[in-house]
A and B are shown apart, each in its own frame.
Chain A
Amino acid sequence: MKIIRLETIALAGLLLLVVPPLCSAQNADAATTNSSDAQKPAAAQDQKTTPDSQGAQTGSQNKPTGQPSDLPNAPSSSKTEPSLEDLGFSPAQTQADAARQALLDKRTHMLKVHQRLGLITAVPLIATVATSLNAGGKNTSTASRDLHTALGGLTGDLYFLTAYYAIRAPRVPGTETRGPIRFHKAMAWIHGPGMIATPILGIMAFDQKNKGEKVHGIAQAHGPVAIVTASAFGAALLSVSVKF
């Protein structure tokens, strides 16, 4: 009788030893399956990209996902592989956000156009500054003055087109502006009003000159305002181009 009771206790003890590891193994299976669900959107996107990546993804991401669900009793080494959920990343952190990607794509496209137009604008801007030497003063040549005016007009048009692409580029929520872009944006508060004031003052000076008058009044500020505006524009361009 005693022996039978001892045997029962021993077997119960063995069961207690064996059951917890078996349970943890099952949990590992469940965790692997869950983690594969969390990675599904990314994996699905991966497969769209290239045939090469399809093969690679099948070999990597699908390895832990496919085996436990297809063959629940099959021994799998993937049980031991950690998953993103094991690392404590929430599904929100790991899931694809197509809307945000579209926003970023649109922003980049518009800022690329802004960058190109800014570079193009710099050409007539430099030419306008260069032709200003013969446009004012005692020189009465209307040809050089007209050329300066035309180049100034072209610069203004291109400038506002450039500005449009920067202003209309979508903002990305939750992004704090840091780095040289802050200086670039600050310069816009100088060259923006300057690009409005310079042509107005230029037209006034142009009219006075054409009437044979000496440039007077507020029109005298055309040159200094233009220099400050061009300098701010140049500084803005350099701030995002060259590392200081």
Chain B
Amino acid sequence: MPMTQLTWMRTFAAGLLLALPLLASAADSQWFLQQSTLTYHVSHPLHQSEGVSHEARGKGICHAGQCDFLIAVPVKSFDSGDSNRDLHMIQVTRGAQFPMVTVRTKLPESASASTTIQADLEIQFAGQTAQYKQVSFQLATQGNEIHLTGMIPATLSDFKIDPPTLLTLPVKNEMPVRVDLTWRPQ
């Protein structure tokens, strides 16, 4: 084999080795939130109220077997069926000053094959950040979509929200959020 040909082959092999990781990174997968229903529940001695939003948007970017997810929803998009309560909710949660609720989590890419996952959530809401460890979610695969359901055990005090009152009676501190999301890979 001539010397020049050997040199060329070595250069090509080295180039391929350099290019492979970059090619691998280009093949990272992404997930998009197709449908969402987020429901908060508030308890008062005289009322049980729920506010629903379908306006959440979410994206997951997977890299090296690890996926970073971001889900965000405008505070004002929650509808409890009572405009007065909704405006009051936006006020107490400082929703005009902090208009978005964001949820960040990291999950292994392999989690999509499971039926139950435990996720560590970082939620930014009302100008505060709260961490929720090992929140349980159920996963159901429907075609190429993944349907995720679960409950986030949020409380008002987690976000330093003064409990709203009705007839001078405050609502309970617990404010669980029911999550129903449908994800689709790109």
A residues in contact (CB < 8 Å) with B = 3-4, 6-7, 10-11, 14, 17-18, 20-22, 24-25, 42, 45-46, 48-50, 53, 56-57, 59-61, 77, 80-84, 86-89, 93-98, 100-101, 103-105, 107-108, 111-112, 115-116, 119, 172, 175-181, 240-243
Contacts and interface: CB of A to CB of B under 8 A. Distances in A.
Secondary structure of the A contact surface, majority rule: helix
B97 A60 contact: no
Given A46-B98, A96-B98, A97-B96, A82 B59 contact: yes
Interface of B: 2, 4-5, 8, 11-12, 15-16, 18-19, 22-23, 25-26, 28, 46-48, 57-63, 68-70, 72, 74, 80-85, 87-88, 90-92, 94-100, 102, 104, 122, 124, 127-131, 160, 165-168
B97 A101 contact: yes
A98 B97 contact: yes
Contacts of A42: 97-100, 127
A89 B100 contact: yes
Contacts of A178: 81-83
Contacts, number: 174
B164 to A, nearest CB: 9
B98 to A, nearest CB: 6
B11 A7 contact: yes
Secondary structure of the B contact surface, majority rule: mixed
B15 A11 contact: yes
B58 A181 contact: no
A17 B72 contact: no
